[in-house]
Amino acid sequence: MRSFQNLLVLQNLYRLRALGCTYSDPILINLPSADPLPSQYDQLCSLIGNCHLCDLSKSRTQSMSGYGDPNADLMILDAFVSTAVDESKQYYAGHSGSTLKKMIENVLMLDTRQVFITHGVKCKPLGTQLPSESEIQSCQSYLFKQLELIKPKIIMPLGGEAYEILTGDTTPFEQVRGREIPFGQITVIPIYHPAFLLRNPSLKKVAMQDLQKIRELL
């Protein structure tokens, strides 16, 4: 609730500034819903890196915009920044990241620099908590602007949380996993999250089949 109230206050401040009022910002504050987001990829990354729209900005190490080719045909979407990624500042950190890297290189037959990986929530949530609805909404315009600029052919959400953040669809994950789902001009194909596969190695074969389908469509 506090984060949502903060957003309303920021909206009113931006409206007042548009009417000619002046004030000084103690920190760089941005509000995607009040001001248009930049149409240059580097400028958008800078804006995400300096974002203070929600309380996660107080505890994060960094806000991570994404890694890879900004013109990639394949976008990989994780739900939120993990502790390993936040601490290392590497997108393929930890056992989960290493597994994902092998999936990209050995099954999709791509280099990690040829795809684009990002998160629905650009910062690490507090502790072991999942991001709140207001935190997800604070980042949503960033994600959709990235889709507009990158124009991927396929989005590969990692797990049900990432799929729901992207689409808003609450269909049970097993009913959408591996399916080709239209999303505007983009095809969404959700797969199991690498961390889930590490806990459930019997499902790796299914994940490989989903990846092979993606490879054929690229």
Q: Which domains does the chain have, with CATH numbers?
A: 2-217 (3.40.470.10)
Q: Six-digit token pair at 202?
A: 């019997």
Predicted TM-score (pTM) of the model is: 0.81
| Residue 85 and residue 93 in contact, taking contact as beta carbons nearer than 8 Å | yes
The 10s digit of each residue's pLDDT in 35-64 is 588 889 999 999 998 888 888 877 777 888
Q: Six-digit token pair at 3?
A: 């984060």
Q: Which residue has the tokens 């689409």?
A: 167
pLDDT at position 169, please? Answer: 93
| Residue 121 and residue 165 in contact, taking contact as beta carbons nearer than 8 Å | yes
Q: Would you give per-residue pLDDT tens digits along the chain (218 residues)?
A: 455 556 666 566 656 666 666 655 444 344 444 458 888 999 999 999 888 888 887 777 788 899 999 999 999 999 998 888 888 888 999 999 999 999 999 999 999 999 999 999 998 888 767 888 888 888 899 999 999 999 999 999 999 999 999 999 999 999 999 999 999 999 999 999 999 999 999 999 999 999 999 999 99
Sheet holding 74-80, edge to edge: 67-68, 116-121, 74-80, 154-157, 186-188, 181-183
For residue 169, CA distances in Å to 38, 45, 98, 129, 181 come to 28, 27, 29, 21, 11
Instruction: Give the mean pLDDT of the chain.
Output: 86
Residues in the chain, overall count: 218
